[in-house]
Amino acid sequence: MESYCHDIAIVGPVGAGQAAKLANNVMSIVNTAVATEALRLAEAYGIDRDTMIALARKGSGASHALATWEIRKTLFEGEPPPGDPNRNTSRKDLKAAVRTAESMGVRMPLTTDAIALLGV
Protein backbone atom coordinates (compact mmCIF):
# COMPACT_ATOMS: atom_id res chain seq x y z
CA MET A 1 0.00 0.00 0.00
CA GLU A 2 2.77 2.44 0.85
CA SER A 3 4.17 2.23 -2.68
CA TYR A 4 0.76 3.23 -4.08
CA CYS A 5 -0.36 6.11 -1.87
CA HIS A 6 0.86 8.82 0.49
CA ASP A 7 -1.34 8.03 3.47
CA ILE A 8 -3.03 4.88 4.64
CA ALA A 9 -6.13 5.36 6.77
CA ILE A 10 -8.94 3.23 8.13
CA VAL A 11 -12.01 5.26 7.19
CA GLY A 12 -14.83 2.94 8.17
CA PRO A 13 -16.40 -0.44 7.50
CA VAL A 14 -15.78 -2.63 4.47
CA GLY A 15 -16.36 -0.56 1.33
CA ALA A 16 -15.69 2.80 2.97
CA GLY A 17 -12.17 2.94 1.54
CA GLN A 18 -13.53 2.58 -1.99
CA ALA A 19 -16.12 5.26 -1.27
CA ALA A 20 -13.33 7.56 -0.01
CA LYS A 21 -11.35 6.95 -3.20
CA LEU A 22 -14.42 7.69 -5.34
CA ALA A 23 -15.16 10.86 -3.35
CA ASN A 24 -11.56 12.05 -3.79
CA ASN A 25 -11.68 11.36 -7.54
CA VAL A 26 -14.98 13.23 -7.87
CA MET A 27 -13.44 16.29 -6.21
CA SER A 28 -10.41 16.12 -8.46
CA ILE A 29 -12.20 15.55 -11.77
CA VAL A 30 -15.13 17.93 -11.19
CA ASN A 31 -12.69 20.59 -9.98
CA THR A 32 -10.89 20.22 -13.30
CA ALA A 33 -14.19 20.78 -15.13
CA VAL A 34 -14.87 23.94 -13.10
CA ALA A 35 -11.33 25.24 -13.67
CA THR A 36 -11.69 24.69 -17.42
CA GLU A 37 -14.98 26.58 -17.44
CA ALA A 38 -13.54 29.45 -15.37
CA LEU A 39 -10.53 29.73 -17.68
CA ARG A 40 -12.89 30.05 -20.65
CA LEU A 41 -14.59 32.96 -18.88
CA ALA A 42 -11.22 34.65 -18.26
CA GLU A 43 -10.17 34.12 -21.88
CA ALA A 44 -13.44 35.64 -23.10
CA TYR A 45 -12.31 38.83 -21.36
CA GLY A 46 -8.90 38.68 -23.03
CA ILE A 47 -7.06 37.33 -20.00
CA ASP A 48 -4.18 35.09 -21.01
CA ARG A 49 -4.78 31.53 -19.78
CA ASP A 50 -1.32 31.14 -18.24
CA THR A 51 -1.70 34.47 -16.45
CA MET A 52 -5.08 33.43 -15.04
CA ILE A 53 -3.72 30.08 -13.89
CA ALA A 54 -0.81 31.80 -12.14
CA LEU A 55 -3.17 34.24 -10.41
CA ALA A 56 -5.64 31.54 -9.37
CA ARG A 57 -2.87 29.33 -7.99
CA LYS A 58 -2.10 32.13 -5.51
CA GLY A 59 -5.72 33.00 -4.73
CA SER A 60 -8.89 31.41 -3.47
CA GLY A 61 -9.22 29.49 -6.76
CA ALA A 62 -6.11 27.45 -5.98
CA SER A 63 -6.54 23.71 -6.38
CA HIS A 64 -4.72 20.50 -7.15
CA ALA A 65 -6.33 20.67 -10.60
CA LEU A 66 -4.54 23.96 -11.32
CA ALA A 67 -1.33 22.79 -9.67
CA THR A 68 -1.25 19.85 -12.10
CA TRP A 69 -2.83 21.68 -15.04
CA GLU A 70 -0.39 20.43 -17.68
CA ILE A 71 -1.67 16.87 -17.33
CA ARG A 72 -5.35 17.91 -17.02
CA LYS A 73 -5.75 20.77 -19.46
CA THR A 74 -7.37 18.79 -22.27
CA LEU A 75 -9.68 16.66 -20.13
CA PHE A 76 -12.72 18.86 -20.77
CA GLU A 77 -11.66 20.60 -23.98
CA GLY A 78 -11.70 19.69 -27.63
CA GLU A 79 -12.38 16.37 -29.18
CA PRO A 80 -10.66 13.56 -27.29
CA PRO A 81 -8.47 11.21 -29.25
CA PRO A 82 -10.12 7.80 -29.72
CA GLY A 83 -9.80 5.75 -26.56
CA ASP A 84 -8.40 8.68 -24.56
CA PRO A 85 -7.37 6.98 -21.30
CA ASN A 86 -7.77 10.13 -19.18
CA ARG A 87 -11.37 10.70 -20.25
CA ASN A 88 -12.22 7.00 -20.10
CA THR A 89 -10.84 6.62 -16.58
CA SER A 90 -12.43 9.86 -15.40
CA ARG A 91 -15.81 8.90 -16.86
CA LYS A 92 -15.59 5.42 -15.28
CA ASP A 93 -14.74 6.87 -11.86
CA LEU A 94 -17.50 9.48 -11.95
CA LYS A 95 -20.11 6.96 -13.06
CA ALA A 96 -19.06 4.61 -10.26
CA ALA A 97 -19.34 7.47 -7.77
CA VAL A 98 -22.85 8.40 -8.96
CA ARG A 99 -24.03 4.77 -8.81
CA THR A 100 -22.57 4.42 -5.31
CA ALA A 101 -24.14 7.69 -4.17
CA GLU A 102 -27.53 6.76 -5.60
CA SER A 103 -27.43 3.46 -3.72
CA MET A 104 -27.10 5.54 -0.54
CA GLY A 105 -29.84 8.01 -1.52
CA VAL A 106 -27.37 10.81 -2.35
CA ARG A 107 -27.83 12.98 -5.45
CA MET A 108 -24.76 14.19 -7.37
CA PRO A 109 -25.99 16.65 -10.03
CA LEU A 110 -22.63 18.36 -10.61
CA THR A 111 -20.88 15.03 -11.02
CA THR A 112 -23.58 13.91 -13.45
CA ASP A 113 -23.01 17.11 -15.46
CA ALA A 114 -19.25 16.45 -15.51
CA ILE A 115 -19.89 12.96 -16.93
CA ALA A 116 -21.86 14.54 -19.77
CA LEU A 117 -19.05 17.06 -20.39
CA LEU A 118 -16.57 14.21 -20.78
CA GLY A 119 -18.59 12.94 -23.75
CA VAL A 120 -19.19 9.37 -24.80
The full set of domain ranges for the chain reads 16-118
Distance CA 111, CA 2 (A): 29
Options 3.40.50.300, 3.40.50.1220, 3.30.1180.10, 1.10.1040.10; CATH of 16-118: 1.10.1040.10
Say what the pLDDT of residue 1 is.
67
Model pLDDT, residue 7: 82
pTM of this prediction? 0.86
pLDDT value at position 77? Answer: 86
Q: Mean pLDDT of residues grouped by 10 in the chain (120 residues)?
A: 78 92 95 96 97 96 93 84 82 96 96 89
Instruction: State the alpha helices, DSSP H only, in 45-108.
Output: 49-58, 64-67, 69-72, 85-103
